[in-house]
Every structure is written in C-alpha cells, then in structure tokens.
Amino acid sequence: MRIALGVSYNGQPWRGWQSQPSRQTVQDALEAALERFATAPIRTVCAGRTDAGVHGLMQVVHFDTAIDRPEFSWVRGPNSFLPPGIAVQWARRVPDEFHSRACATARRYAYVLLQSPVRPSIEAGRAGWVFQALDQTAMREAAAHLIGEHDFTSFRAAECQAKSPVKHLAHIAITRRGAFQPPPAGSEGCPTGYWRFEFEGNAFLHHMIRNIMGCLVAVGQGVRPSGWMREVLEARSRSKAAPTFMADGLYFLGPRYDPAWGLPERSAAYDWLP
C-alpha cells in the first residue's frame, strides 16, 4: 500500500532535506525512524527539497510498504524514534497513483524577517534579520515584476539541477506582522517588528526564494529602485542579482494538491509562525 505523511521540522540542525552520505539530513532521520517502526527499510519521496537551515511546516512524503497498520500508527510510531525538531503530523493511505512530487499543483513558502537594530535572540535561526527600515510599497512594486511565467535564471543557484529555469510564480505577499515598536527615546535605529513574505508557484529553483529575498531587501532598503527587479529578471544572469539571503527565516509551508486526494492543507505549526 502507499502511505502519505505530513512532516514538520526545524531545519537548523540538519543539512537540508535530501539524503546524504553524512546521514545528517531530515530525510535520513525520517527514514531511520520509519525503518525502526516498520522493521524494514523504507524509502520516501518528498514534495519539495529544502536546503540546510530551511524549516518545513508541512513537507509531504509518500512511500510504499507491505505493512498494514492503522493510519495513526504511522504518526505515533515513527515519532517515538524521531529526534526533537522533527515530527510526523498526519498519515493517510493514498492510491498507488498518488505521487507527492508529481501530483503537487503548487508549492508554498514563507519568509519571516525581523527588522530591528538588535540581532535576533529567541528567533535566532528561525527568522532572517535586517537592521534598516524597509519600504513596503517599494518591495511590493518590485515583487510584481516576478508574477507570472518567467525564466528565473537570475535567481538560480549554480548547482541547481532543474531541467528548466522557467517557472510560474503565482503569488507574492509582503505584510507587516504586529505593531512595529519605535526605538527607545534617545537611541538610534529602525522600528522593531516582523515582516512576512509569502510565495506560491508551480515549482522553485535551488535558492530561488533566498535570491529573490536578497533583491527585495535591497529594494526595501533603498539600495535599488523597484524597477531594478525587472532588469535583474530580464538579464537572465545570476551575477546581476543581490547575494543569496540567509536561510534562517525560510519555511516550506507545503504543497497544494487536488482536493480529491483528501490530504490536509495545513498543520498546527501554521498557527505558531508569525
């Protein structure tokens, strides 16, 4: 039978999702836990790979097994063997035609960014950081140039293995989260608060969102005008874009599927994320 799992994880201690010889990846930890629970090797296929330091709120994987157990057992069982920071959120039996990657109609990410004169402490590793105020209008204008189907070569890492740089970016939302607090009287610095950037597209290139974030921050800080984003996009050259932004605040929110598959669209962790 084929089983689909929804998995959440804190990406800080791991070298990304995909299995590596070091065995220090989320996939390696999950498969080791599944093997201990099932007493048989299990190989998983994921909806979307994440880089080192990137978090997952609802990664979806599937695997095939001859072991017939209740769905809840595929949650509690592996979780008893998983390290802190990785947890199976749900399990569903799915038809053999279901494929976590191929059946995904879209993928969603969020980037949480702390704007503050002081570096993160509690949020260290869980939020990006800027110490200069950002211009929301300018960033939204810049992001608008990326909506639609484009060649995203300028935002593609050199080691990207995607067959084509052409992707369809359906949505970018840039919002403030909560009230921004002014700096203490007599001190210098920008107001303190959180930004949330949301991205949805059919697929993403390696480092694509982090490279877009680098450009959005450059525009937000006034280093570049909003129209510069169009120039970077049309140049189709990685050298024209800003440096890759830190991984700390990037979260894979999960894939979207046809409702007919009957899979959850969100996990409890969505309510924790700023």
Which residues are part of the catalytic machinery?
51
The whole-angstrom separation of Cα 207 and Cα 205 is: 6
Amino acid at 150: H
Q: Are 178 and 193 spatial neighbours (Cβ–Cβ below 8 Å)? A: yes
The whole-angstrom separation of Cα 128 and Cα 180 is: 16
* CA distances to 86, 91, 127, 160, 216 from 164, in Å: 32, 32, 30, 10, 23
For 243, the token pair is 């440096």
Amino acid at 237: S
Amino acid at 78: P
Q: Are 13 and 45 spatial neighbours (Cβ–Cβ below 8 Å)? A: no
* CA distances to 29, 58, 260 from 264, in Å: 23, 9, 11
At residue 95, what are phi and psi to the nearest 5 degrees? Answer: -65, 160
Amino acid at 163: K
> CB under 8 Å to 181, separation ≥6 — which residues?
191, 192, 193
Amino acid at 136: Q
Residue 13: count other Cβ atoms within 10 Å of its Cβ: 16
For 110, the enclosing helix (H) or strand (E) is strand 106-115
